[in-house]
Amino acid sequence: MNDWLLYLLSAAALAFAVSSWWGVRRLKALHIRSAVGEDAHETGLAHQRVAVILNPIKARSSDAKEAIQRACVAAGWDEPLFLETTAEDPGSSQARSALDYKADVVLVGGGDGTVRAVAEILAHTDVAMGIIPLGTGNLLARNVDLDVYDLHANVQTALFGQQRYIDTARMGIENSRTGHSSEHAFLVIAGIGMDAEILADTSDGLKKAVGWLAYTEAGMRHLPGRRKKVSVSLDGNPEQVRNIRSVLFANCGLIPGGIDFIPEAMIDDGMLDVVVMSPRSAVGWLAMYAKIVFKHKGNLPIMTVYRAGKIVIKCPEPMPTQVDGDTTGEATKITVRVEPRSLLIRVKGQPN
């Protein structure tokens, strides 16, 4: 690699870290759009049956359990039902057990993967989900204006807060080479292409050491690469053929680092924002980054945003996929659709 390009990429990484730190401070107040905009309502429950699904390997899981127990005792409620996730089962069977228990609210203590697995089961049930963010990204928590560093406040919100409905989405995956197919729910952002490559190649050790900044290191290594041809169909319209590095499907737009990646993405509008990214070089990636960080309104041909309720993408060769930060295998065809107002969640009380 030429020295000038190495210097350019190093400067970009430094700029990302600095602007992301500033973004955490500045965007917390700005990202209060539809993500917390719909009028929340009271639960109407004086007494609640509480189920708690915890990822026991998370650093603060024991503290979360104790805080939840104390709050339920203070409220005069029954002892919560505690269920722990495993590597083989990140929350699905535990969520079914919580429904069998007739829980009024299911608290989820873990990262994005645990939240997603539980939400997939609770969607369309009218049983509320309370979020206790204990992971690295905590994407849904950030997008509904929870302070991911305040454990006590999150327990109070999950147990005693108001509630509202949000959209969820599903991505069906087909691989014509292997015959494999699957379907996955997601709450924040799914994708195909380079974003999934980065997630698969991010060091777990580095994530534990520096958190979400670990993705920056992997991203820099994956900037070089060729574009791939895909066909894209939005809401049943004729296919468009595009050369892409990545396509993202956003239910909401705030990502780690305080970056408001897609300001127009709303969590309860019944639509997905589809971002087609097709840069040819490091200069193109820098132009996209500048547009995102500085919220430039001008058109950028290598970054196109569409809105749709259903998206079908076909590709001649298998490409990696991801949902909410979890890799989901390679696909030659994906079908993505939104499920409007399908999940009831607990949020902070709104001022009168």
What does the pLDDT read at residue 174?
98
What does the pLDDT read at residue 41?
83
Q: What string of DSSP letters covers 218-276?
A: HHHHHSS---EEEEEEETTPPPEEEEESEEEEESS-EETTTEES-TT--TTSS-EEEEE
What does the pLDDT read at residue 28?
38
What does the pLDDT read at residue 279?
81
Please give the helix or strand (H or E) that residue 70 lies within, else none.
helix 61-75
Write the CB contacts of 149 (distance below 8 Å, at least 6 apart in sequence): none
Euclidean distance between CA atoms 209 and 92, whole angstroms: 28
What does the pLDDT read at residue 136?
84
285-310 tens-digit pLDDT: 777 777 776 666 667 777 889 999 99
**Angle between the N-to-C axes of helices 92-100 and 112-122, in degrees from 0 to 180, rounded to the nearest 10:** 40
DSSP state of 78: P
Largest CA distance in the chain: 67
**Which has the closest alpha carbon to 158: 349, 352, 320, 20?**
349
pLDDT along the chain (352 residues), means of 10: 49 48 37 55 90 96 98 97 96 98 98 96 97 92 94 97 96 97 96 86 69 65 80 96 93 78 87 90 75 69 90 97 94 98 92 56
What does the pLDDT read at residue 29?
35
Q: Let me know: does 262 contact 190? Beta carbons within 8 Å.
A: no
Please give the helix or strand (H or E) that residue 131 lies within, else none.
strand 128-133
Q: Which residues pair with 331 in a beta bridge?
A: 319
Helix %, strand %, coil % of the chain (to 5): 35, 35, 35
What does the pLDDT read at residue 297?
66
